[in-house]
Amino acid sequence: MTNMPGTKKPRQLAFVSSDAGDARAALAELSAEYGHVSMEDADVVVALGGDGFLLQTLRDTMGTGKKVYGMNRGTIGFLMNEYAVDALPERIGAAVAETIRPLEMRATTMDGEMVTALAINEVALWRQSYQTAKIRISVDGKLRMEELSCDGVMVATPAGSTAYNLSAHGPILPLDAPLLALTPVSPFRPRAWRGALLPNRSEVRFEILEAAKRPVNAAADHTEVKGVQSVTVRQSKKVTATLLFDPSHSWNERILKEQFRY
């Protein structure tokens, strides 16, 4: 991920919102104030809602070169800018852009089917039955863990590090950190293992041990694959999404605040 200079004042804005009442009201208010074009014709897409809706908007714009500016009309809004109607084009023009590279998941099922998908947050594996999953982990072709007995395991991006990864006690990563978080979910053996930080160029391979007896599902964000035999995860080299932040409300500042909460 690389920092980019702020964008020029946008000529065309597209407003999109979640189904929440506050988000729909903001959509009507901003469209009336600034006009509205389709997402295809827009320079910048303004996403109104919570973090989940913002990430969905980023998925919808991946690879298009369009920039996404989120304003919080949801609950937490960790990735969002504060909502205000006034001077929106000027705010967007002064915003700092962060380029996000999603993860590529390649999952092979027990039936031999290959499924590929992209994830902005994380690629996660978790047990499908009452029995713990047993997973072998390799990084860049080198075996790193012969057998992890757990409820699940994930590879999270910096953008996703405050979501499922944080709930599983994984580390919070600055958005521009060249890292991925490899985080277990309820590890049983080795019980003391809390995961690893990997260079974002790494390729992680998960092999499911006793897959028929201990079935495992995998998901790249919302794309789920049932009954996987192996999963390979790496950062995309081609596809990007771009997120805009107000300079006074940067991602790095939010990361620091989150780490000093008690």
Q: What CATH number does the domain containing 230 carry?
A: 2.60.200.30
Predicted pLDDT of residue 63: 87
Residues 215 and 249 in one domain: no
Predicted pLDDT of residue 11: 65
Predicted pLDDT of residue 248: 80
Predicted pLDDT of residue 10: 53
Predicted pLDDT of residue 3: 45
121 in a known ligand binding site? yes
Residues 157 and 225 in one domain: yes
Residues 127 and 220 in one domain: yes
Residues 89 and 134 in one domain: no
Structural contact between residues 118 and 236, judged by C-beta atoms closer than 8 angstroms: yes
151 in a known ligand binding site? yes
DSSP string for residues in 125-175: EEESSSSPEEEEEEETTEEEEEEEEESEEEEE-TTTTTTHHHHTTPPP--T
Read off the pLDDT of residues 162-190 as tens digits, 9 standing for 90 and up: 889 999 999 999 888 899 999 999 999 99
165 in a known ligand binding site? yes
Residues 206 and 153 in one domain: yes
Residues 110 and 38 in one domain: no
List active site positions.
Answer: 51
90 in a known ligand binding site? no
d(CA 25, CA 30): 9
Predicted pLDDT of residue 262: 60
Residues 121 and 219 in one domain: yes
Report the run of H or E that residue 59 belongs to, with start and end: helix 51-61
Low-confidence ranges of the chain (pLDDT < 50): 1-7
223 in a known ligand binding site? no
Q: How many domains is the chain built from?
A: 2
Domain span holding position 214: 103-235
| Lookup: tokens for 53 | 């809706």
Predicted pLDDT of residue 91: 95
Residues 110 and 96 in one domain: no
52 in a known ligand binding site? yes
252 in a known ligand binding site? no
Residues 129 and 10 in one domain: no
Residues 202 and 253 in one domain: no
